[in-house]
Amino acid sequence: MSRREGSLDPQADSSISPLPHLEAKIHQTHSLARLLTKYAEQLLQEYVQHQGDPFGLPGFSPPRLPVAGLSAPAPGHAGLPAAERLQLDAGALSALPPLLDVVRRHQAELNPRALRLLRRLEDAARQARALGAAVEAVLAALGAETRGPRPEPAVAAAAAATDAGVFPAKVLGLRVCGLYREWVSRTEGDLGQLVPGGPA
Amino acid sequence: MLTLKIWIVQALFIFFTTESVGELLDPCGYIKPESPIVQLGSNFTAVCVLKEKCMDYFHVNANYIFWKTNHVTIPKEQYTIINKTASSVTFTDISLLNIQLTCNIRTFGQIDQNVYGIRIISGLPPEKPTNLSCIVNEGKKMMCQWDPGRETYLETNFTLKSEWATEKFADCKTKRDTPTSCTVDYSPVYFVNIEVWVEAENALGKVTSDHINFDPVDKVKPSPPHNLSVSNSEELSSILKLTWINSSIQGFIGLKYNIQYRTRDASTWSQIPPEDTASTRYSFTVQDLKPFTEYVFRIRCMKEDGKGFWSDWSEEASGITYEDNIASF
């Protein structure tokens, strides 16, 4: 366990039980997921504001298709064992940063003056990587495998598909921002069940 | 006429000390090293090498070289004749910060001529920076500061480095007027541990501080509570109720408070026992006050577990306790 992951290294001080460290790490990662859920909401709202009509209009709802093999959390996700849920969370969080980078590149061409949106997209990629690494650290500390099934790496396909036009690029961005929000929120919920005193 | 003669002599002097009219600025030799930076207290040797053409023209060799520092001739005991073209001078335990060193020759038995000149800069390598600490003012970017160690007498650059486990951030280079602190150019992300350290570098060396590793949420100085207001109670003349609005950080961390109060004409503050204000709240009823008396209040907050920094005090707010109903009869 890297010291940079929040000192979750029982080997570092064998006189201290690893359990408080693990609890602290879970608490910290849960707080991060909660914070990023708020940021993801803000990102999604800001993204919609900059795309123009019909984005943001009531009733506008493009198909929620998988993006580069990444789908939203499955309906049965909450019923899975904790380690499996966290593995899926970690997998999604590792798939999101390159997709967010694709969206940022598209938006840099479509909305070059939307500096705050561009910064939020860049921050989101960075923060998703950090949250994914933190979830993997929790999994490692729990003795679980750190990676579950991963979505196919198809970022190039995602980027190429949107070369077909502006609208597909905007829809891709909407979908990616939505998936980001769903997965960080899902991660918050999954970690919340591990926090002492959290919901069972 | 005299002015013209002086000009001619000067022109001839320049001509004869150079190899040809086409090379008016070609010196008679050179000094190595050219622009040395030397550690205070150390030894230093410079070598002056004469050019063959100059030696032939003036009939001189290395034995004719004499050295000066800041226009004072150095004793010959410090010279070493290396060969017929080169002479060195050695300084032991250099203590001056800035020395002008010239290599000179005595020509024709009486004319002293400058061959070359250099400036010796001396100083010290940087010491390891210590006491590195960081603070995140709510809504602002993280600022870190440190003790730079001894004076080096040289231009010394300090660079604050920071990274997550998953990525490195851009270096934060200090400005000239604030060499011992740096504010990073990225927004803080709470709940992700960051590793921070300082590199100090000058011409004589490079050194790194100890690394510190922390969650930025544990280094926060919150914004103070605002909109502090005071209301009294007609039923109880000994109480005043305070209400306030916490800053937005209370959405992520629990807060604790210091509440202080005094009568309008008092100079010292009393404080509510901290254990009574040890968790996030939006109001507090102060009891055991004197009836019909004006009190002034202020409040500050910090992270509930005591990590980080106290906010600044809020704006003061005042209120007057109600008249004592019994006394009014």
Cβ of A42 under 8 Å from any chain B Cβ? no
According to the model, what pLDDT value does residue A13 have?
Answer: 42
A81, A191, B137 from B53: Cα distances, Å: 90, 84, 69
DSSP per residue, B94-149: ---SEEEEEEEEEETTTEEEEEEEEEEEEE-PPPPPEEEEEEEETTS-EEEEEE--
DSSP β-bridge partners for residue B44: B91
Check residue A198 and give its pLDDT: 61
- Strand order across the B86-91 sheet: B29-32, B44-50, B86-91, B79-81
Say whether residue B163 is in contact with chain A using an 8 A CB cutoff: yes
- pLDDT over 90 percentage in chain A: 60
B-chain residues near A133 (CB < 8 A): 164-166
Residue in B closest to A37 by C-alpha: B252
**The predicted structure's pLDDT at residue B24:** 57
Shortest Cα–Cα distance, A168 to chain B (Å) = 31
With a CB cutoff of 8 Å and minimum separation 6, the contacts of B56 are none
pLDDT at A153: 52
**Which residue in B has a C-alpha nearest to residue A123's C-alpha?**
B187
Which tops the pLDDT comparison, A152 or B177?
Answer: B177
Tokens 């939505």 sit at which residue?
Answer: A178
B228/B255 Cα distance (integer angstroms): 16
Going through A29-98 in order, the beta strands assigned E by DSSP cover: none
Q: Grade residue A168 by pLDDT with cuts at 50, 70 and 90.
A: confident
Query: Using CB atoms, which residue from A3, A28, A130 is nearest to B166?
Result: A130
**Confidence at residue A69, expressed as pLDDT on a 0 to 100 scale:** 77
Contact residues, chain A, for B164 at CB < 8 Å: 4, 130, 133
Provide the b/e sequence for A88-116 (b: ≥16 CB within 10 Å): bbbbbbbbbbbbbbbbbebbeeebeebee
- Choose, out of A7, A27, A31, the residue to mutate when testing the contact with B (most B CBs < 10 Å): A31
ipTM exceeding the 0.90 mark: no
B37, B98 contact by CB (below 8 A):
no
Q: Minimal CA–CA distance to B165: which of A22, A153, A25?
A: A25
Q: Does B217 touch chain A (CB under 8 A)?
A: yes
Residue B168: closest CA among chain A residues belongs to which residue?
A126
- Strands B142-147 and B157-163, bridge-based pairing: unpaired
Amino acid A38: pLDDT: 95
Q: How many CB atoms lie within 10 A of CB A147?
A: 13
> pLDDT by residue for chain B (329 residues), tens digit each?
777 777 676 666 655 655 454 455 688 899 999 989 999 999 999 999 999 998 898 899 999 999 999 889 999 899 999 999 999 999 988 888 888 999 999 888 788 889 999 999 999 999 999 999 999 999 999 999 999 999 999 999 999 999 998 899 999 999 888 889 999 999 899 999 999 999 999 999 999 999 999 999 999 999 999 999 999 998 999 999 999 999 999 998 999 999 999 999 999 999 999 999 999 999 999 999 999 999 999 999 999 999 999 999 999 999 999 998 764 44
Angle at A147 between CA A146 and CA A148, to 5 degrees: 130
Residue A4 has its nearest CB partner, among B195, B217, B252, at: B195
Identify the residue among A7, A27, A35 best suited for mutation to test binding to B, counting B beta carbons within 10 A and taking the highest. Answer: A35
pLDDT tens figures, A116-148: 999 999 999 999 999 999 999 999 988 887 664
pLDDT value of position B241 = 97
Residues of B in contact with A28 (CB under 8 A): 191, 193, 215
B270-271 β-sheet, strand order: B270-271, B255-263, B294-303, B317-320
pTM of the model: 0.82
Residues of chain B positioned with their CB less than 8 A from the CB of A6? 193, 215
Q: Distance (Å, rounded) from C-alpha B294 to C-alpha B290?
A: 9
Treating both helix axes as pointing N-terminal to C-terminal, what angle do A18-51 and A166-192 enclose, rounded to 10 degrees? 150
Q: Do A7 and B193 touch (CB under 8 A)?
A: yes
